[in-house]
Each structure stands twice: as C-alpha cells, then as structure tokens.
Copies of this chain bind each other. A is one copy, B any other.
Amino acid sequence: MTDWGYKQFCPVAMASEVLGTRWTILVIRELLCGSHHFNDLRRGLPHISPALLSKRLRELEELGVVSRQRDPENGNPFYRLTDAGEELHPVVMAIGCWGQRWLEAQLSMKNLDPSLLMWDMRRNLDPDPLPSRKVTIQILYHDVTPGQAKWWLVIDKAGADGIVDLCRKDPGHDVDLYVASDLRSMTAIWMGLMTVAEAIDSGKLQLTGALQLKASMQSWLGLSTFASEPKQVDT
C-alpha cells in the first residue's frame, strides 16, 4: 500500500483507518466508561505504554473525538469525549456484544487480572441496595499472588466526590462483609457466566458478615455491561 490508508472512499474504510489502530477502541471504551485522567486511563489499560496512550489521545484530539481540558480547580488536565466521540458508543457496544456472544468464554478466562476486575467492579458497583451508613467490603482471592490478593471496597453514600472507593491496603474500618473466592470464579460472575448463588452453592464463593449484604450481593455487585448478552458458544 506504500502510504498508510486503505485508499477507499467508503466510510467503513475511512473510519477503520482511525479506529483500527491498536488500543484506540479500548481508549475510547475507557473514556465512555467515565475515565477522564491520564492515570485513570492507564489503570483501565494496564498494558499500554504511557507513550502510546499519549499518542493515541493526541490523535483522537486532532480527529475531534476527544477534547483535552484543564480542571479550573487544580489545573490538572483531563480528557472528555466530544459529541463525535460519544457517538462511538454504538460502535463499542456492537463490538462488545458480538465479542460476548461469539468469542469463547475460555478465551476471556485466560486473561484474568485481579486489579482490572476490581477496577471494573468499583466502577459498576451499585450503591442503591446498600445501607446508607459507610460499608466496607473485603475481597480475598486465595489463588492470587499476595500483593494482589486482598482488596477493600468502601462505599459511603455521604462520601465526598466518588461514592465507591477501592483500596489495596486495609483502610482501617471494620469490615462489614468478607468475600472470598478464586479469581476465575469472581470474573465469571462479573461476566454473567455464573450467578452469585451458583458460586456459593458450588463452594466457589464464601461470604462472611452482614446478612443483608450477603443476600443482596447479586444486586449491588454491578456486572459487566455485556453480562446480559446471550452467549452462543460454550466450551
């Protein structure tokens, strides 16, 4: 092809030139999910190099998909999707739904990653079913290297900015609910491949603590956006 590009006037080709480069779609997914700061994005894209993330953001900005602004408070930069960027939502959803329906679950289960899972859980956790007081939940993955095994979610509806906090170190509060599982099972629950009840019944998931929290876990634990998509392949 000599120069870059498909050399086609077809809109699919034009758009693919832009969206088809490595990491681009995932950067947009992160922005759609509400990450705004450089290091938030990095958290959602653990294996991207900062140089490449920076490059992608600049490309998307030049394209008019992303707008870089500064927080008037502290002068920190942050990224927002423009209207053109927001309208990529159907694209990302279509890709994700197709992936959930047709890509083998096993494949997904090879890419387990506790910090990514926790970061997603923090994002989608639904505080509504939880009591109004501050709630602390400890998650323990007993099959994960010590440094990544223990996590705390602190939900405080009266909290300052974000309602849900994710900690890797003991925040010090009394723990209301202890969750213990293996990483694989927890990810399967997150992806809608298994319910909380099934996991408990089969001994894959142990809950200790406040009864109300145990009973309502399936509802406060927000699932992956694509969890409801019916799968077509099983292995």
Contact = CB atoms under 8 A, between A and B. Distances in A.
Interface of A: 1, 5-16, 18-23, 25-26, 29, 45-47, 64-65, 83-84, 87-88, 90-103, 107-109, 111-113, 116-117, 120, 187, 191, 224, 226, 229, 232-233
Given A15-B98, A25-B12, A64-B102, A47 B91 contact: no
Given A12-B95, A90-B97, A93-B94, 16 more contacts: A1-B47, A6-B47, A6-B111, A7-B113, A10-B96, A11-B99, A11-B191, A14-B107, A15-B95, A15-B96, A15-B98, A16-B25, A16-B26, A20-B21, A88-B98, A90-B94
Quick one: copies of this chain in the complex? Answer: 2
A29 B10 contact: yes
Interface centre among A8, A25, A112, A226 (most CB of B within 10 A): A8
List of 9 A-B pairs having minimum Cβ-Cβ separation, nearest first = A15-B99, A11-B99, A11-B100, A12-B96, A84-B102, A91-B94, A9-B108, A94-B94, A9-B111
Contact of A87 (B11, B19, B96, B101): B101
A97 B87 CA distance: 10
A9 B117 CA distance: 9
A26 B8 contact: yes
A2 to B, nearest CB: 9
Contact of A19 (B21, B45, B95, B100): B95
A117 to B, nearest CB: 8
